[in-house]
Amino acid sequence: MHRISVTVNGTTREGEVEARTLLVHWLRDSLGLAGTPIGCDTSNCGACTVLMDGRSVKSCSVLAVQADGSEVTTIQGLANGEWHPVQKAFKECHALQCGYCTPGMITAAVDLLGENPDPTEEEIRHGLEGNLCRCTGYHNIVKAVELAAGEMREAAK
């Protein structure tokens, strides 16, 4: 067992984990942060995406011990539980249906916009290529990211 200490959604969380424990399982089962779901076992779907030290990672492909000492933000901690512009835009553009891909999709989009505040449609599609959605056909997700990008640029002015 290994002792880890991770700042999760702004709070320091400590725990004992097996070396093989996946970050996503630690978040879900030990910390009760069920907002980050699991959709595959091959790192393909992106449902489990969280931010680790500000960058998006697939938390099913990170060991909990690798997260030791880092800062992790899940969908539940984005904008401190308030509404992040990307979350608002997803609602406004109807960019979700079953909602299962949504936490990962939003987290990936937040990272994308951090990198590139004014992406083209093509760049958005490339940026979200690692996140699968079975419900929306991506159209409204792309629109939502465009809308959020505009709002965030506006707010940054």
Partner 1 sequence: MTVTDTENTGSTEPQLSPAGNPMGFGRMLRKEDVRFLRGHGHYVDDVQLPGMLYSAILRSPYAHARIVSIDTSAAEAHPKVRAVITGATLEGLNLAWMPTLSHDVQAVLATDKVRFQGQEVAFVVADDRYAARDALELIDVEYEPLPPVMDATKALDPDAAVIRTDIEGKSDNHIFDWEAGDAAACDEAFAGAEVVVEQDMLYPRVHPAPIETCGTVASMDPITGKLTVWSTNQAPHAHRTLYAIVAGIPEHKIQIISPDIGGGFGNKVGIYPGYVLAVVGSIVTGKPVKWVEDRSENLMATAFARDYHMKGRIAATKDGKILAVQVDVLADHGAFNGTAQPTKFPAGFFHIFTGSYDLQAAHCKVTGVYTNKAPGGVAYACSFRITEAVYLVERMVDVLAYELGVDAGELRMKNLLRPEQFPYTSKTGWEYDSGDYPRALRKAMEIAGYDELRKEQAEKRERGELMGIGISFFTEGVGAGPRKHMDILGLGMADGSELRVHPTGKAQLRVSCQTQGQGHETTFAQIVAHELGIPPEDVEVIHGDTDNTPFGLGTYGSRSTPVSGAAAAVVSRRVRDKARIVAAAALECSPDDLEWTQGRWSVKGDPEQGRTIQEIAMLSHGSLELPEGVEGHLDASVVYNPPNLTYPFGAYICVVDVDADTGKVHVRRFIAVDDCGNRINPMIVEGQIHGGLAEGVGMALMQAIAFDEDGNCLGGSFLDYLLPTALECPSWETGATVTPSPHHPLGAKGVGESATVGSPPAVVNAVIDALKPYGVRHADMPLTPCQVWLAMQGRPARTDLALT
Q: What is the DSSP letter of 78?
A: G
Applying CB under 8 A, which of residues 69, 81, 114, 117 lies at the interface with partner 1? 81
CA neighbor of 30 nearest in space, from 56, 66, 6: 6
Which option in ligand FES, partner 1, none does residue 152 bind, with CB closer than 5 to 8 A by kind? none
CB-side neighbour CA atoms (13 Å) of 58 = 18
120 near partner 1 (CB under 8 A):
no
The Cα 38–Cα 20 span in angstroms is 17
Q: Is 64 in the site for partner 1 (CB under 8 A)?
A: no
Residue with structure tokens 């959020």?
148
Residue of 3, 10, 16, 18 that binds partner 1 (CB under 8 A): 18
Site string for ligand FES, 125-154 (x = CB under 6 A): --------xxxx------------------
Contacting residue, 25, 58, 84, 143, with ligand FES by CB under 6 A: 58
Q: Of 40-48, 78-86, 108-116, 147-155, which part binds ligand FES (CB under 6 A)?
A: 40-48
CA dist 26 and 68 (Å) reads 12
Q: How far is CA 122 from the centre of its chain?
A: 20
Residue pair 59/49 in contact (Cβ under 8 Å)? The answer is: yes
Residues near ligand FES (CB under 6 A) are: 38-40, 43-48, 58, 60, 96-102, 133-136
